[in-house]
């Protein structure tokens, strides 16, 4: 079995578990007044699970050509060392660090730090452009989420007394 079929089989298993959870576990926990609503909290997970299962079956059931040789533009898992793994893994690490830093140091500081560090990791060296763009982006997103949507995001670090 080819690599894409193995990935599709694993993805199918994940989607089946996710679908079971959204169809049976989430719906059983709904209070009675929500069961009369046309859209439930499990509606979007149901759609995602169904689409994932469908796409997995399409990949698994599509006939494959046995003599496929990866071209220059295709990813070849035998040549993983030729790709920018350090940048990809570093970016994943920065995402995890960003998630852990949101509460203690606030949305604005952690978002600006994440955007600047990830841009630097990916090769951008013009800090005089990155920092203002990151500041404008972080403040803009914070304003939209906090003021327009009404979802509280702690903007600054905890020691500056911005509430809990």
Side-chain half-sphere CA neighbours of 13 within 13 A: 5
**pLDDT tens track for 59-89:** 999 887 665 666 666 666 677 777 788 898 9
Whether the per-residue pLDDT at 33 is higher than 60: the answer is: yes
pTM for this model (two decimals): 0.57
pLDDT for res 77: 67
Return the axis-axis angle of helices 127-143 and 107-121, rounded to nearest 10°: 140
Measured between alpha carbons, how far is 115 from 130 in angstroms, rounded to an integer? Answer: 8
How wide is the angle at C-alpha 57 spanned by C-alphas 51 and 60, nearest 5°? 140
The pLDDT mean for the chain works out to 85
According to DSSP, residue 62 is labeled S
Would you place residue 6 in the very low, low, confident or very high pLDDT band (cuts 50, 70, 90)?
Answer: confident
Q: Is the model more confident about 56 or about 84?
A: 56
């Amino acid at each position: 079995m080819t690599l894409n079929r193995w990935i599709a089989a694993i993805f199918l298993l994940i989607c089946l578990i996710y679908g079971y959870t959204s169809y049976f576990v989430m719906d059983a926990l709904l209070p009675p007044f929500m069961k009369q609503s046309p859209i439930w909290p499990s509606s979007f997970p149901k759609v995602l699970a169904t689409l994932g299962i469908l796409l997995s079956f399409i990949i698994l059931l599509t006939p494959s050509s046995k003599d496929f040789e990866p071209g220059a533009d295709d990813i070849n898992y035998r040549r993983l060392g030729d790709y920018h793994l350090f940048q990809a893994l570093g970016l994943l690490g920065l995402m995890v660090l960003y998630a852990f830093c949101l509460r203690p140091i606030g949305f604005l500081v952690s978002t600006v730090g994440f955007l600047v560090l990830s841009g630097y990791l990916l090769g951008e060296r013009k800090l005089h452009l990155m920092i203002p763009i990151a500041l404008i982006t972080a403040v803009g997103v914070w304003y939209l989420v906090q003021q327009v949507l009404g979802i509280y995001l702690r903007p600054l670090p905890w020691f500056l007394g911005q509430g809990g």
